Amino acid sequence: MSEQLVYSVSEEDLGNQQAGPALVEQTRACMQKNGAVGINNVFDTALLERVHQAYIDRYEVVGAEANNKQVGDKRSMLAVEIKPPFSDVELLLNPFLMPIVTRLLGADCILDAYTAVSSLPGAADQHVHVDYPYLFEDEALSQSLPTYTITVAVPLLPLTPLTGTTRIWPGSHRNPSGWKEPPPIKDSVSLFPEFGGCYLFDARLQHGGTANLSDRSRPILYLVYTRPWWRDYTNFSNQKPLNIDAAELATLSDPIKTLFRFA
C-alpha cells in the first residue's frame, strides 16, 4: 500500500480552531520521513478566492511581470506585495499550520520569503530540482540534518490533473536511494490536496511543477518558514523576498511582526 502523504484537519481541530496534538504528530512524522505532507481544510476557501482575485487583478495584467523570475517554461515567480488580502493572518500565522511549523522549526522561526509561482496555460513540466543549495558541500551531512526550512504551498484554485500540481519525490530530502538528478518518475507522487488545503515541503526535497494542461493560469503561494539563521541567497536578485513597506508592516499584529523581524 502506498504511503499516506495527505492528512486533514479534523472536525475537532476545526472546532478548537487549532491543530491538535494528533495532527501535529502525524504531519511531523510524515515531514521527517517523506520531506513533504499535504493537509486539507486549512484555509477558508472564501479567503483563497479573494486572494486569487487580487492576484489576477494585480499580477495577471500586462507589464506586471517585469521583475518576475522565470522558473521554467511559461512559469514564473514573483514576490507578492504583502498587503490585504495577502497579509491576512490566516495566511501568515495559520492556527492549523503554525503548531506544525513551529514543532519542526522551533518557536523562534521566521518567514524568509513570500512569493507566488504561476504556470501559464500550456506550461510544460518543470525541471526537477531542489529550491536551494545544500547547507554544506557534503551532501550526506546536509541530508542528515533536521529540517531547517519549510515551504508552505497554497494553491489559489482547485488543483486537478488538468491544472497540474507539484510532483515530489518522497524521501528525497534524505535521498536514501542515492538518486542522481533527475530521479525516476515512477518514484514521484503528484500532490492534490483539496481546495483550501496546502502542502509543505522540506528545502532539500526534489520536486517540480507538472504541466498546466488547462486554460487558466495556476498561481500557488509559497510561504517559506525557516529557522532564524537561514536565508535564501540564490533566488532573489531583483525582487525582495518579503515585499512589504514600512507603513504596511506597522499595521500588522505583534506576532506577525515577530515572524517578519528580519524583513
The residue ranges that bind ligand AKG (CB under 6 A) are 71, 75, 77, 117, 119, 126, 131, 166, 207, 209, 220
Contacts 24+ apart (CB under 8 A), 56-64: 59/116, 59/118, 59/219, 60/118, 60/217
Smallest separation (angstroms) from ligand AKG to the CB of 159: 9
Smallest separation (angstroms) from ligand AKG to the CB of 32: 21
Question: Residue 26 contacts by C-beta under 8 Å, 6 or more apart in sequence?
Answer: 7
Smallest separation (angstroms) from ligand AKG to the CB of 154: 12
Nearer to ligand AKG, 118 or 175 (CB): 118
Nearer to ligand AKG, 82 or 203 (CB): 203
Q: Where are the alpha helices (DSSP H) in 7-76?
A: 11-16, 21-34, 45-59
Q: Which residue's CB comes closest to ligand AKG?
A: 209
Nearer to ligand AKG, 23 or 152 (CB): 152
Smallest separation (angstroms) from ligand AKG to the CB of 167: 8
Question: Residue 119 contacts by C-beta under 8 Å, 6 or more apart in sequence?
Answer: 72, 74, 75, 126, 164, 209, 211, 212, 217, 218
* Residue 58, phi then psi, degrees to nearest 5: -90, -35
Nearer to ligand AKG, 117 or 200 (CB): 117
Per DSSP, the three-state class of 142 is: helix
Nearer to ligand AKG, 87 or 126 (CB): 126
Smallest separation (angstroms) from ligand AKG to the CB of 205: 10
d(CA 160, CA 254): 37
